[in-house]
Structure 1
Amino acid sequence: YWTIDHFEAFIPESVTVSNNALPGGSIKIAASGISVPNISISHSADTDEHVLNNPLSDAKSYGTIKYDSNAACYVVEVNDGYLDGGKMKPSVPGISNAGSIIESRIPQYRVKNDLLEFNGLTILDDTVTNTGDAKDPAKIPIAPVCGNNVFFRNNNTIPDNILNGIHGSSGSICYKRVTDTINPVYESEIDYSIPSINSVTVHTPVVCNVNFYDDKENDQSLNPDESRITVVLGRPSKIALYTTGTHLDIPGYNNTPGGSMDCRKYTAERQVLFPFDVYAGTDKPDPSRFVEKDTWHTIPINVSDEIDICIPAWVPEGDYTVKFREIAVNAPGTDKEQQHANTDISNYVAYCEIPVKVTGRIYGFRITDVSDMLWRDVFRVSKDSATHTGNYYYVGSKDEEGNNRGISPVFTLPLIEGSHLLYQNRGVLKTGYSFKFDLITIGGYYGNNDYISITPEFWFVKKDGTGRRKVDLWYHDSFGGKMNYFVKISPDDPRNVNNIKYMKLGDLYRNVPEDEITDTALILGIDGYAFKNRNAGIGRFDHISLSEAQRTYIGAKQNLPNEININDSIKSVQKWYGEYYLPNDLFTVEQGFDVIEYGRTHNGLDGKESFWLRDGYIIVNFRIETVKNGDFDNPVLSYWGACRCNMFLREGFLYEKTDYYGAVFTLRDGDIVFYDTDKRSSDDYRIGGTH
């Protein structure tokens, strides 16, 4: 018979895996889907429980063996017959199968095994047998290998403080004893180490995918840089810092359409470093949103990828590089960086750099006064007052942002017949009458060698609006202590070059606000009275050069960040004042006509020659540009001549106008006023009398 000497049954209860990349350094996974086996067991160490009889005793009780007192032992009778030997003692034959005879007279042992049943399978059968030999045990079935998901846990989050790298793994499995035991030698739980667990590579991905709005539509630079993003002073812009981009081409990365991945959940911070002051998170100046230059500004992960920015007017124009970066959640610092994406496992920061060009602005040209008394009612509240009415003639009906000014088309340039507010058939100027104007710049045009350069061009057009063409102008004027005749408005005529015109900023009818004078004089460190009463040159008929003597500072004084010097803000926006006129005695001729040669060959000139153009208008056209550091050969900004931004167009300039008489005029950028070829200011002041 068979007995159970030692029996313990265990099933897997849990697995513990250790790796630095796991939460807390390790996780314990309870077994899932393993059934506790159904085990039946019966055991006895008592022989009597297994050997149920004594065969010798049974034979005695059955009488199959008897005690022979003569032989002093138990004997088995072979048979009941006699041997007849006659007169002789018979010989007893030998018994060849004595053993089998004895066995046949003594019954077998009745035995049984211990019992062991495993999930309905009998391993050790405790059925009683009469053969003296209990049933041999069956083989214990081999335990199956655990299924793939018995010890499985997904969505394990790697702690944010785990560094990139290869992290080794170790683990153990815990077996728990079930059912009854026989002579146990193990604890109720057994732990075995698990060999060859794969390591874990931690590589927290971040990308730096940036968009910087290119404000090139507002770039008035004469030489724009196509390799740089345009940022315009005083204007809003936008940046976007995305967490989606291209990373490693391996499983788990670049798994979204288009071969990219969203690294938002792996990104701790998104930051931008402007090398110039900026307002971030707003499209207008707001001190609470001010970010000082060279300061990392964080864009929270949970806000929109795109944010507004606004460029303060005081930022110096020039070339800059704006740096963006996105920092992984497990970054120990920000020094290990890689451009666009941290595809190198040793890096924790993805960055990119955007080259930008900060440029200024020129806008707001308007006529503020005309010296002809006919216009006094337009610009003055009364005939005896210098107080301005607030009526101005703008380039167009819109402002520098393209927003409607809410003005009548009457108050738009150029001045033509019908531009006068009260006298609807008037508007064209008589030669000799000047007009005052002003305009605004933003940028670094506050130095003593910065200028507004205005180059007039002259066009003749018939009064019916036809025949527009460029012309040359000649004039008589008294300067240099004498009357000068037939002077050409040209830089090539030395007499014209010497005919410098002057103006005072503080002219009563220029209406420069007193606070502009005060602020500007204070910043320049000069006396305000002397500043506004300085009679300074503004150029010639062929070229106007507005300088520091015709400039005030009008930048913001209120609502500024604490870090900013108020003077830097005030001087960052400049207002320029100027005036211009065509000489009273003016003569118009086709461009290129050699007037000097004609006079030489025709016994001089008297102004009545047939080649002079009459019965039309002279259109004064201004090419307006900014000049830095006195470099007139390389102007910086243009009002309407830049290839990217035409401020005449932006401000709603009308390229076709109909005058009071119904004549339609096709206009060009820069057209400012019309002068009548046949009317002079001197006509209004001639002395009359009888003779």
Structure 2
Amino acid sequence: MEWIDKDGKVLRSISIPTGKTEIKASDNLKDTLNGTRYTVRSKNNSNYGGIYYWDRWTAGDSGNFNGKYWRAGGGQVSVYTSEPGPNCPGGVPTENKNPNTGQSFNGNLPRYPGCTDPNLAANIPRTEAFYIVANGDSLHDLWIRDGGISKTDVKASRTIIDSTSPINDVHGTQGYTDPSTVAGQVIDVPSLNLITISFKQTFNNDTYSKYWANPGAKQVWYFSKFRADFDSYTYVYKDKKLKVTYADGTSGLEISGNICVAPNGTTQLTATLTKVDGSVWPLQSHAKLTWSSSNTSTMTVNSSGLVTAVAPTGTATITGHFVDATQALDEKDTFEMTVGSGALCTDSGGGGNQPEIPEGNGSGQCSWTIGSPSQGTVMKQSHMDPGANGVIRADDRDSEKFDVLKGIPTSESLYTNALADEYLFKQDWGKMSGKTTYDCTVEVTYARQWTVPGPQVCTETGCTPGPPVTKTDTQSKTYTFQLFRDYSYWQINNLEVYKINQAEMSNYALPGGKVTMTPSGYTPPSLDSSNDADVNSHVRPANTSSITFTPPLLTGGLNSPPSLPDHTSTLKGMAESNTPQSKVSNDMVNFNGSTIMSSSETTKDGPIPSNIPNPTTINRDVLYKPNNMINNTLINKANTTSSGEIYYELLPGNVNGGINKVFPINGINTVTVHTPVVNYAWVSDDQPHNQKTIPNANRAALILERPFIVRIPTSGQHLDAGSYPGYGNRDYAKYFRIKQVRFPFDVYNEGRSQFIPAKTWVDIPVNQLDTPFYLPVWVDEGDYEIEFRNIAENAPTNFTEQQDANTNLAHHVAADTVPVEVIGRLYDFRVTDISDYNWENVFRKQMGRPEPTGVGYWTGLNSIDGDPRGNLAPFILPIRPGSHPVQGFKNVSVKTGYHIKFDLKTKGNMFGKQDGVRITPSFHFVSRDGSSRQEVDLYYHRGQERLIRIGSAQDLEKRFVVLNARLRNVPITELGDAARYRYTYELTPEEQSQSTLAEYMVGFVDQTSHQKTWVGRYDWLILSSPIRTLIGPKTDIPPGVNVDRANAAIQRWYGEYSLPADVYAVQKGTDLESLARQHPLDEQSAIFLKDGHIVVNFNIESLQGGNTVAPHLQYIYAPLMNQWQMEGFNRSPENSQGRNWSLKDGDVVFYHADQSSRNDFQSKVPH
């Protein structure tokens, strides 16, 4: 056995014992190939990065240590909780509240786990090629194919911790390797493409953390990332050729042919070479064979062994020499020849009588059978954990308006987002090895030659033996033998590749509780495979080309035919040479456009497949679904749990594959549904019509028979926006179902087309800020609370409410109350009659008759609320010169002693027995031309009492009013309504039993109303219930409203007033008594003001319940409004002289200071 270099030089050899016919493994014939070992290295391979999550539960969760210990989030960990033990020594700092929100944990909880896990593992995939590491060598940095790398010597020569590369977590943030990370040793090398290293971390910080909504719930996480160099070896062999030869150790060369050549003739010689392996090669011309003649003058021999006679006689020795260093052969033979003639001498043309030498031949063929393979090496790899995680957050991603952990309203939308590996796979490649057996059969026909004694030659001298005679024949022999060809190929035992089909997430807030995300922008892995378990599909044996063998001439001796040799070895060698190696092909796997297992046809051994690469994580847009609207029927609910599943679909092309897979999506956050509503209601304060003596600044004034506005804004302060993004002080109309208001009293809508009974919830359109209402006259005066509630769109039937805003999500209604005060009116003062005869034609249709003209003198030209009343000048107060409408009476005012009749109205709760109207007169003197005005005191005489000052203690003159006086013209319906109300509501049952209602009404109209009622004195009047009628509405009263109460809601008060016939005016404050002591006084004294008019001014107030200390309403002097002015009183009308009167609010009538009613009767009195 020899090793030969490319130049044929034998480098090494192993001797094989002579005669050895079979070599077995037990013979222990071996040698060592001394190749050169080189280190190869794949540099700077990196993994994606790992994250270990720890969770602490709320303090009230008994199933999770009540938050006292942490739980590891799963994965390749050996420490699962932070319960005390060798790896968790304790002593961790504690915390008792959320540092971000101040939320209490109800106890001290460990801030972080405080544990060390020494048995963590990280997979580092190989991403870089191998290169030779041999500084200074020409092979340094030479790329080496994976097939030339030792797979059993792989190790990590350099493992470093990557602390500078960011790693993405499930919360959308990034982090870096924890400083406690310590890299360990290689613990597994499943292939050239993956190393698993051990490492440890100490979880003793909360650098990366998140607090959940539940008190005490928290998550911390720790990053790790590594880089590593992969080292192994390759071997370089400089020997180029291996040759193995086996033989018995003998070789030789033998020349055969005619021993003589005829003169000038030729003959052919043959040199038969026997090799050490026993093979016989008849040669005539060969590159390694030389022929020579010892006597070229007698005969020559050419390079093909053809001998030519040169001389007519002679002898020569012909030499054949075969030299082949490659085969270690150096063989030589000589052959003696004679030039002559005779029976043994024939030329090359065969012209003698020698028999023709037959030719041998042989041919055969081989048939093959593929043997069954057996499995050897396997390549298994799998990645079947997608590492799925996800989030549910508020739209829009990266600019979320709400923090769903804190709260998000209904009618807002969520997005779901899942991350997972782009595909999953399992592979199992098996190397199938076997042999192909070739059964060969060769038929060989041998040509034989030997001699027998020839016939005697007899001459005259005697007989001698003749030359030997050549004999020939052929014999056949059948050879059978077997050849073997090894083969190997790779077969798919198992192949499963899964693409992402869809992902689902479930949460209370999602539409229907669940959404499905189908991949977008996702390119599924491509898989193309072919697999066939039939070995015939993988191995294609080569056919042995036809075996053609020309055996050498077999020569024997005298009377000795040659025996047949054994050419099995030669024939088998020829068959081996004629039989190429089998063509093989693997199963086929193409993955993502790359060939993992090539099915290309190769010789003998199929190419070694590679592993399916590990997947990367999909980008965040693949499983992303925005605009998941939260249904507006979902009630508020905190911390609703989330779950999810990701579905992987088995790709076609799998081999012995499984089924579609479903995996959980981990780490999905909770969602809190909290639909906000606010209620900061407002009610208009009708100050311009508020006649209260002392207005209540803390209540909005609502005036009877006037509109008012309720304002229900949808904006306002809710939860603090800093802690609860999306809330704060803003408009929340989007989340309102309805706004409602409830009045504790009856109201109408703005147009009075709809009556709304008290304590009725009234719906207000959400987008309507202000809503007008109208207050009916029959509502009792007093303090009330108006209720408001704004109902969230997701409110349940049995909702609860919270003041101002539903900051507590248990409530779905924001409530508010607004304090109001219902207030009546004091208005429509008018003068309806003047007893001065100069005015009779103004108020009476006919002199001496009671029928009124209907004329009245009003405060001004306006009605109660300042709208035009319809009256014209001169029928406005005060009654003064110019007020008389008849030509010739322009300068007429009223003489002292004559009374004026007047009435006025009130609204509200002024129908009680003790209710009344107080009038306080005051007096001024105005010069005749109106140029001056001053306040005065008035004096009068009574019998022998002289100069009694009005308002003094001596002023005891009582004033009376008859309600149904002849010239008062009180409508009979007013009298009847007043009588009915008194009978029904003011009489006791005993009093009612004295008469029927009809009898009482007749008696009231005919008798009671004609009785005098004391109303006061010159300096004060109180109009009381006997001179009051009820004039409220009696028709179009809504059902449920008391008609009598509505009729009683508006009252008319009747009164009259006059100055004494003899009245004397002095400047206010004048001390007449002192003056009288100095100078006697009489009616003509200059101290008394005569040239002008005495102006009577009324201050009018309403009294409730007989309370004279605190009057209810003011006609003129209310702090917030002046009804006298509201009705259009003119403070400076022009007089007949072109000047303007100087008037004051409350001025009612001008009396002539120098004319008395007595003047109208002096002609009838004896002088």
Same fold per superposition (TM over 0.5) = yes
1:344 aligns with 2:821: no
Question: Which moves more between the two structures, 170-179 or 501-510?
Answer: 170-179
Query: The residue matched to 1:687 in structure 2 has which SS?
Result: helix
Aligned-pair distance for 1:577? 0.8
Q: 1:136 to 1:432 in 2, by over 3 A?
A: same
Aligned to 1:554: 1031
Which residue, 209, 213, 216 being the options, matches 2:684? 213
1:316 aligns with 2:780: yes
Aligned to 2:918: 453
Aligned-pair distance for 1:165? 2.0
Amino acid at match of 1:42: S
Q: How does 1:130-149 map to 2 (within 5 A)?
A: 130-137=603-610, 139-140=612-613, 142-148=615-621
Which residue, 740, 757, 774 being the options, matches 1:271? 740
1:15-36 deviation line (CA, Å, top 9, x unaligned): 2222222333223333333234
Query: The residue matched to 2:1133 in structure 1 has which SS?
Result: strand
Which residue, 267, 285, 290 being the options, matches 2:756? 290
Contact preservation (8 Å) 1:282, 1:289: no
Aligned to 2:764: 299
Aligned to 1:53: 541
Aligned to 1:489: 950
Q: How does 1:392-411 map to 2 (within 5 A)?
A: 392-411=856-875
1:678 aligns with 2:1139: no
Aligned to 1:239: 710
Contact preservation (8 Å) 2:685, 2:702: yes
Contact preservation (8 Å) 2:632, 2:793: no
Aligned-pair distance for 1:215? 0.5
Amino acid at match of 2:709: K
Contact preservation (8 Å) 1:415, 1:427: no
Aligned to 1:591: 1068
Contact preservation (8 Å) 2:650, 2:658: no
Q: 1:75 to 1:205 in 2, by over 3 A?
A: farther
**Structure 1 gap ranges (5+):** 64-68, 80-101
Which residue, 100, 111, 120 being the options, matches 2:584? 111
Question: Which moves more between the two structures, 347-356 or 671-680?
Answer: 347-356
Runs of 4+ in 1 over 4 A off after TM superposition: 59-63, 69-79, 102-106, 251-256, 688-691
Q: In 2, distance between residues paired with 1:670 and 1:121? A: 108
Q: In 1, distance between residues paired with 2:694 and 2:662? A: 77
Q: 1:159 to 1:46 in 2, by over 3 A?
A: farther
Aligned-pair distance for 1:567? 1.0
Q: In 2, distance between residues paired with 1:124 and 1:49? A: 15
Q: In 2, distance between residues paired with 1:252 and 1:378? A: 78
Aligned to 1:89: none
Q: How does 1:212-611 map to 2 (within 5 A)?
A: 212-250=683-721, 260-279=729-748, 281-282=749-750, 284=752, 286=753, 288-292=754-758, 294-301=759-766, 304-332=768-796, 336-423=800-887, 425-477=890-942, 482=943, 484-490=945-951, 492-494=952-954, 496=955, 498-525=956-983, 526-527=1000-1001, 528-529=1004-1005, 530-603=1007-1080, 605-611=1081-1087
Question: Which moves more between the two structures, 159-168 or 389-398?
Answer: 159-168
Aligned-pair distance for 1:422? 1.1
Q: In 1, distance between residues paired with 2:1024 and 2:580? A: 140
Query: The residue matched to 1:448 in structure 2 has which SS?
Result: coil
Aligned-pair distance for 1:638? 0.4
Q: In 2, distance between residues paired with 1:354 and 1:3? A: 86
Contact preservation (8 Å) 1:237, 1:283: no
Contact preservation (8 Å) 1:21, 1:159: no
Contact preservation (8 Å) 1:516, 1:554: yes
Amino acid at match of 2:953: D
Aligned-pair distance for 1:203? 0.7
Contact preservation (8 Å) 1:396, 1:652: yes
Q: In 1, distance between residues paired with 2:883 and 2:634? A: 73
Q: 1:690 to 1:10 in 2, by over 3 A?
A: closer
Contact preservation (8 Å) 1:59, 1:107: no
Aligned to 1:650: 1126
Q: In 2, distance between residues paired with 1:593 and 1:500? A: 25
Amino acid at match of 2:849: S
1:510-568 deviation line (CA, Å, top 9, x unaligned): 12111111011100015432332121111111001100011111111111121111111
Aligned-pair distance for 1:375? 1.6
Whose relative contact order is higher, 1 or 2, with alpha carbons under 8 Å and at least 6 apart?
A: 1
Q: In 2, distance between residues paired with 1:500 and 1:685? A: 24
Contact preservation (8 Å) 2:896, 2:1157: yes
Aligned-pair distance for 1:646? 0.4
CA RMSD in angstroms comes to 2.7
1:464-506 deviation line (CA, Å, top 9, x unaligned): 22221111000124xxxx564322111x323x2x311111111
Aligned-pair distance for 1:131? 4.9
Q: 1:193 to 1:77 in 2, by over 3 A?
A: closer
Contact preservation (8 Å) 2:636, 2:810: no
Amino acid at match of 1:22: L
Question: Which moves more between the two structures, 404-413 or 566-575?
Answer: 404-413
Q: In 2, distance between residues paired with 1:504 and 1:689? A: 29
Aligned to 2:513: 25
1:20-56 deviation line (CA, Å, top 9, x unaligned): 22333223333333234443322222212212215xx
Aligned to 2:652: 179
TM-score (norm 1): 0.87
Question: Which moves more between the two structures, 9-18 or 351-360?
Answer: 9-18
Amino acid at match of 1:306: D
Q: In 2, distance between residues paired with 1:524 and 1:459? A: 40
**Structure 2 gap ranges (5+):** 1-488, 550-563, 984-999
Question: Which moves more between the two structures, 230-239 or 525-534?
Answer: 525-534
Q: In 2, distance between residues paired with 1:16 and 1:31? A: 11
Aligned to 1:40: 528
Question: Which moves more between the two structures, 646-655 or 656-665?
Answer: 656-665
Amino acid at match of 1:200: V
Q: 1:619 to 1:73 in 2, by over 3 A?
A: farther
Specify the structure having the higher radius of gyration (Cα): 2
Q: In 1, distance between residues paired with 2:880 and 2:609? A: 126
Which residue, 615, 637, 641 being the options, matches 1:168? 641
Q: In 2, distance between residues paired with 1:374 and 1:609? A: 28
1:619 aligns with 2:1095: yes
Contact preservation (8 Å) 1:393, 1:412: yes
Q: In 1, distance between residues paired with 2:608 and 2:645? A: 39
Amino acid at match of 2:620: G
Aligned to 2:600: 127
Q: In 2, distance between residues paired with 1:354 and 1:531? A: 46
Contact preservation (8 Å) 2:744, 2:785: yes
Aligned-pair distance for 1:444? 0.9
Contact preservation (8 Å) 1:317, 1:358: yes
